[in-house]
Amino acid sequence: MNFSKKYLYISVTTILLLVVSIYLILSIYITTIAIKATRKVPEINPSSVGLEYSEDIFITEDKIKLSGWFIKNKNPQTVIMIHGVDSNKSDGYMLDLIKDIYDMGYSVFAFDLRAHGDSEGKNLGLAYVERKDLKASINYLRDYHAIEEMVLYGISYGGTIVLSNSSMDPAIKGIIADSPFYDLPELMAAEVSSRTFIPESIAKLLKFGIIRSIDFIYDIETNDIISGLNSINDFERPVLLYHCLDDDRIPISHSDMISEFSPEGSKYQVYEKCEHAKGYEYYEEDYLNNLKKYIEISFM
């Protein structure tokens, strides 16, 4: 190899190594930023909608203290409410919906996921680690409130959590998911763009590095999130899906994919002209009618 060819080889190799290094460093840096939850502490509680409640603290298997509210009804059958990312158990329309479900005759348990609201924790678990939160809530309701039958309701991020853990416990009689995500790499690219200074076009180029960073640094098995969602097909009961057609945060294509392998008899309600997870606010009467029918059937 003559000098000029050797120099060219060294130069190209150096450039490639530099590009790979920059890619890896950016991926790790962006992942570290994006996986941090924005904590919003609840400023109101169920008493603001006229409900009596107990403040409950329970602990996950990895020793994270979670904060919940139990609204006891005459009927012990309970709906577990799981909020979205960067939210909490009282945020948005959560309390109004809790009141609506209570008025349907059911008990309600709402809690803050790890790293959210009044619960402990620093990082998001990307709907994978939070399975420990859901499991702890089910065990707590059974052990301390003698609840044996539950329906899971999740919004957005919470929707993916409930869908991907349908086989967790025989006490789960129904699954309701409003605007869940399916394609994690696609979602991460959008979330990185909204939560950091990185444009979405650049974030999409970093998708592979971000996912690998999540797997290796945070020990989150991203592939298990997808396999967990696919397992909803084995759930022996129908599920209820909601999604807004114009959702630009989690495109409706995510729920389209989930609906393809949902159990027989499942209902997929699409609402037009509403933003992310706003079906309840824009189409309240229809939303609640579907919700009431589904919960009644689930607890039969």
pLDDT digits (tens, 9 = 90+) for 279-294: 999 999 999 999 999 9
Q: Residue 163: what residue type? A: L
Confidence of residue 238 (pLDDT cuts 50, 70, 90): very high
The pLDDT of residue 37 is: 79
The pLDDT of residue 229 is: 81
Confidence of residue 126 (pLDDT cuts 50, 70, 90): confident
Structural contact between residues 161 and 131, judged by C-beta atoms closer than 8 angstroms: yes
CA 81 to chain centre: 11
Q: Once rounded to an integer, what is the mean pLDDT over residues 176-180? A: 97
Residue 12 has pLDDT above 90, yes or no: no
Structural contact between residues 279 and 287, judged by C-beta atoms closer than 8 angstroms: yes
Residue 28 has pLDDT above 90, yes or no: no
Confidence of residue 8 (pLDDT cuts 50, 70, 90): low
Distances in Å between the alpha carbon of 21 and those of 18, 34, 103, 116, 218? 5, 20, 57, 33, 20
End-to-end Cα separation, the chain, in angstroms: 79
Cα-based torsion angle of the residue sequence 100, 297, 177, 287 in order, rounded to the nearest 10 degrees: -50
pLDDT in tens, 184-231: 666 666 666 666 677 777 777 777 777 777 777 777 776 666 667 888
* pTM across the whole model: 0.88
> Per residue in 176-212, is it b (16+ CB within 10 Å) or e — as a string?
bbbbbbbebebbbbbbbbebeebeeeebbbbbebbbe
CB atoms within 10 A of CB 65: 14
pLDDT in tens, 50-63: 999 999 999 999 99
Structural contact between residues 174 and 152, judged by C-beta atoms closer than 8 angstroms: yes
Of the two residues 176 and 205, the one the predictor is more confident about is 176
The pLDDT of residue 190 is: 66
Domains of the chain plus CATH, in order, are: 39-182+225-298 (3.40.50.1820)
The pLDDT of residue 195 is: 65
The pLDDT of residue 19 is: 76
Confidence of residue 255 (pLDDT cuts 50, 70, 90): very high
Q: Once rounded to an integer, what is the mean pLDDT over residues 5-26? A: 73
> Per residue in 22-43, is it b (16+ CB within 10 Å) or e — as a string?
eeeebbbebbeebbebeeeebe
Confidence of residue 150 (pLDDT cuts 50, 70, 90): very high
pLDDT in tens, 49-105: 999 999 999 999 999 999 999 999 999 999 999 999 899 999 989 999 999 999 999
Between CA 265 and CA 117 the distance in angstroms is: 35
Q: Once rounded to an integer, what is the mean pLDDT over residues 144-166? A: 96
The pLDDT of residue 204 is: 72
Q: Once rounded to an integer, what is the mean pLDDT over residues 256-270? A: 95
- Least confident among 21-30, 121-130, 184-193: 184-193
